[in-house]
Amino acid sequence: MTHELPPLPFAKNALAPHISEETLEYHYGKHHQAYVTNLNKLIVGTEFENASLEDIIKKAEGGIFNNGAQVFNHTFYWNCMSPDGGGKPEGALAEAIDKAFGSFEAFKEKFSQTAVTTFGSGWAWLVKNADGSLEIMSTGNAGNPLREGKTPLLTCDVWEHAYYIDYRNARPKYVENFWNLVNWKFAEKNFAG
């Protein structure tokens, strides 16, 4: 099975000024593409040759895990953003967030703190546990919550390549602006799914 780079769900200039077209040229066109290319090379002749990304995330190690998880993580991240994003979640997800964190503002603050303090390259996640409860977690490098049996609902990429062109060292500013882009419809669908 050959993995392919999925189309971006928006135009490359659609997230500006929060995320620039130049950032997406590299982030999607180079980084995401490289993970796809590397994965396709690495799986040849292995037990993961026909495996789904989810299976690779759950079972693989080393380069196959790193590249496979990064293919998934980036596709998921693009879907977590929209030029029409921002605002707040609605319905069952909104209720679950209030229940887990006290309020949407408290959730937002905790998620931002997790994204800002993830040391090195990695991801901040809102996940649903097996019992339906919500949790915020951080993963290093290619880490993905599916590996621990948790369902990802929302993610923010905090590898420096996600924000260095637009924000340099100012990761907190990037995370603050990320909220203007969050596609809550996608997170609500993941929660319901």
Q: Which of residues 41-70 bind another protein (CB under 8 A)?
A: 63, 66
116 is a contact residue toward another protein (CB under 8 A) = no
Contact 63, 38 (CB under 8 A): yes
43's enclosing H/E stretch is helix 33-43
Q: Which two tokens stand for residue 117?
A: 């303090």
156's enclosing H/E stretch is strand 151-157
Contacts of 106 (CB under 8 A, 6+ apart): none
Q: Contact with another protein (CB under 8 A): which of 134, 142, 153, 187? A: 142
Contact 124, 111 (CB under 8 A): yes
> Cβ 93 to another protein, closest distance in Å?
30
Binding window for another protein (CB under 8 A); candidates: 27-35, 42-50, 51-59, 148-156: 27-35
Q: Give me the residues paired with residue 139 across strands.
A: 123
What does residue 127 show for φ and ψ, rounded to 5 degrees? -130, 160
Determine the Cα–Cα distance for residues 26 and 149; give it in Å rounded to an integer.
Answer: 31
Q: Which of residues 118-137 bind another protein (CB under 8 A)?
A: 119-122
- Nearer residue to another protein within complex by CB, 102 or 140: 140
Interface map 78-107 toward another protein (x if CB under 8 A): ------------------------------
Q: Contact with another protein (CB under 8 A): which of 91, 102, 140, 149? A: 140
Can you give the binding site for another protein, defined by CB under 8 A?
A: 26, 30-31, 34, 63, 66, 119-122, 140-142, 159-161, 164-165, 168-169
